[in-house]
């Protein structure tokens, strides 16, 4: 009788995902945070044919040095900056992620974060809860008027375009920055104007929303120079990847009121957050939840689990391989 393949799921997720994996494999489920360090994952990985991991789990050369039978890594995320793709390829390990299924939900969450930030919802709620509210004032908590304002989107992929469509409904003008310009038909549909240089966009936008992948080009894309180029009354929204923003530079800009505010869902050294950023009253900080609905997160899990089932036993499930 052949050996049943073993799969490591680094932390508990939805019952349906567990059941799919248990149908084909001997499933081992870790505890939340157990495999957030490469040495811990390296020590465990030698026993497994498949790995379903989170963004917080590093899959690098240290881990793969002990991955003697590992054939597939499925990331419970669209992003995969936690995975060394070149190292996986050198070990003939397939890598999958979970695109498409979270586009609309992430766009909804991004707009919710944007509205909370530019309308100063969180800041004013804190003011009320602390007992400071003494009645209506015509000058209290003045925010950005969206109709006629300019939204700058950096990274006009699926999610960026979905955000642009929603912001157009508020009457906002759309400008964007991508390495490559969108087709004219898409620009016309979104009524969007292209800027190749993100700094040019920064100086023209009332609110900037980041939706670019993390790579060598975008690491610390938002740095001191970028923040200095922004308008003094502008806002920054980041629901892409934490290291796209130099967190310390952002925290200083917020405290010095060089920009009006920021809404942040992802962090440079997640789950750690810069102490100076935590104390910025004009920052809305949420814990990586812009895609947080059960239908979306379940679809992500099933897509990742399907990639493992397809690789290890040829089962016919939807999946997306990137290596």
Tell the burial category of 196 from Cβ atoms under 10 Å away from its Cβ (0-12, 13-18, 19+): exposed
Q: What average pLDDT does this structure show over 108-121?
A: 99
The beta strands (E) that lie in 139-269 are given as 150-154, 173-177, 192-194, 207-210, 235-238, 261-264
Instruction: Please indicate, yes or no, if residue 89 is contained in any of the structural domains.
Output: yes
Residues 240 and 115 in one domain: yes
Which CATH number fits the domain that encloses residue 30?
Answer: 3.40.50.720
Are 95 and 321 in contact by the 8 Å Cβ rule? The answer is: yes
Tell me how far CA of residue 256 lies from CA of 3, 253, 272, 281, in angstroms: 62, 5, 22, 11
Residues 259 and 301 in one domain: no
Q: What average pLDDT does this structure show over 122-143?
A: 97
Helices (H), 174-218: 184-190, 198-202
Peptide bond into 271 cis (omega under 30): yes
Q: What average pLDDT does this structure show over 286-310?
A: 97
What's phi and psi for 153, nearest 5 deg? -115, 125
Are 176 and 154 in contact by the 8 Å Cβ rule? The answer is: yes
Which domain does 49 fall in, by range? 6-101+294-321
Residues 275 and 313 in one domain: no
Residues 149 and 209 in one domain: yes
Helix or strand (DSSP H, E) at 313 = helix 294-313
Task: Give 149-205 pLDDT, tens digit per residue.
Answer: 999 999 999 999 999 999 999 999 999 999 999 999 999 999 999 999 999 999 999
Instruction: Please indicate, yes or no, if residue 1 is contained in any of the structural domains.
Output: no
Residues 80 and 109 in one domain: no
Residue 287, pLDDT score: 98
Whole-angstrom Cα distance, residue 181 to residue 192?
11
Residue entry with tokens 């049943």? 4
Q: Which residues pair with 175 in a beta bridge?
A: 152, 193
Residues 39 and 152 in one domain: no
Residues 308 and 235 in one domain: no
C-beta pairs of 72-78 under 8 Å, 24+ apart in sequence: 72/96, 72/307, 72/308, 72/311, 72/312, 74/50, 74/304, 74/305, 74/307, 74/308, 74/319, 75/304, 76/13, 76/52, 76/300, 76/301, 76/304, 77/300, 78/102
Please determine, for residue 2, whether its predicted confidence score (pLDDT) is greater than 80.
Answer: no
Residue 192, pLDDT score: 98
Task: Give 69-101 pLDDT, tens digit per residue.
Answer: 999 999 999 989 999 999 999 999 999 999 999
Instruction: Give me the active site residues, please.
Output: 241, 270, 288
Whole-angstrom Cα distance, residue 286 to residue 220?
20
Instruction: Please indicate, yes or no, if residue 239 is contained in any of the structural domains.
Output: yes
Residues 88 and 136 in one domain: no
- Residues of the chain with pLDDT > 90, as a percent, come to 98
Residues 90 and 107 in one domain: no
Residues 170 and 47 in one domain: no
Helices (H), 10-84: 15-24, 38-45, 61-64
Q: Structurally, how many domains does the chain consist of? A: 2
Exposure letters 216-248 (e unless 16+ CB within 10 A, then b): eebeebbeeebbebbbeebbbbbbbbbbbbbbe
Residues 97 and 111 in one domain: no
Please determine, for residue 1, whether its predicted confidence score (pLDDT) is greater than 60.
Answer: no
Instruction: Please indicate, yes or no, if residue 186 is contained in any of the structural domains.
Output: yes
Residues 244 and 298 in one domain: no
What is the rounded average pLDDT for all residues in the chain? 97
Q: What average pLDDT does this structure show over 38-58?
A: 97
Q: What is the pTM of this model?
A: 0.93
Whole-angstrom Cα distance, residue 183 to residue 177?
13
Instruction: Please indicate, yes or no, if residue 159 is contained in any of the structural domains.
Output: yes
Instruction: Please indicate, yes or no, if residue 38 is contained in any of the structural domains.
Output: yes
SS (H, E, C) 267-280: CCECCECCHHHHCC
Residue 304, pLDDT score: 98
Instruction: Please indicate, yes or no, if residue 308 is contained in any of the structural domains.
Output: yes
């Amino acid at each position: 009788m052949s050996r049943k393949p073993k799969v490591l799921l680094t932390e508990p997720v939805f019952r349906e995902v567990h059941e799919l994996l248990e149908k084909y494999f001997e499933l081992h489920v870790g505890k939340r945070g157990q495999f957030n360090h490469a040495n811990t994952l390296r020590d465990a990985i030698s026993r497994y044919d498949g790995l379903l991991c989170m963004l917080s789990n590093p899959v690098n050369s240290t881990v793969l040095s002990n991955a003697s039978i590992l054939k597939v890594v499925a990331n419970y995320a669209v992003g995969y900056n936690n995975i060394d793709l070149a190292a996986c390829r050198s070990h003939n390990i397939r890598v999958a992620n979970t695109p498409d299924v979270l586009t609309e939900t992430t766009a909804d969450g991004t707009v919710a974060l944007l509205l909370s930030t530019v309308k100063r919802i969180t800041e004013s709620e804190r003011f009320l809860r602390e007992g400071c509210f003494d009645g209506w004032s015509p000058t209290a908590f003045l925010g950005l008027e969206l109709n006629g304002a300019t939204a700058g989107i950096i990274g006009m992929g699926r999610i960026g375009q979905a955000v642009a469509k929603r912001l157009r409904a508020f009457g906002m003008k759309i400008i964007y920055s991508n390495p490559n310009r969108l087709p004219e038909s898409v620009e016309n549909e979104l009524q969007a104007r292209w800027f190749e240089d993100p700094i040019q966009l920064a100086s023209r936008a009332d609110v900037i929303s980041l939706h670019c992948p993390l790579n060598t080009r975008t690491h610390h894309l938002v740095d001191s120079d970028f923040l200095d180029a922004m308008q003094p009354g502008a806002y920054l929204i980041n629901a892409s990847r934490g290291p796209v923003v130099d967190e310390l530079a952002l925290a200083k800009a917020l405290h010095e009121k060089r920009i009006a505010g920021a809404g942040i869902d992802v962090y440079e050294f997640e789950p750690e957050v810069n102490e100076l950023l935590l104390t910025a009253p004009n920052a809305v900080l949420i814990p990586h939840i812009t895609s947080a609905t059960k239908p979306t997160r379940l679809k992500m899990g099933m897509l990742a689990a399907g990639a493992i089932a397809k690789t290890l036993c040829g089962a016919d499930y939807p999946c997306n391989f990137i290596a």
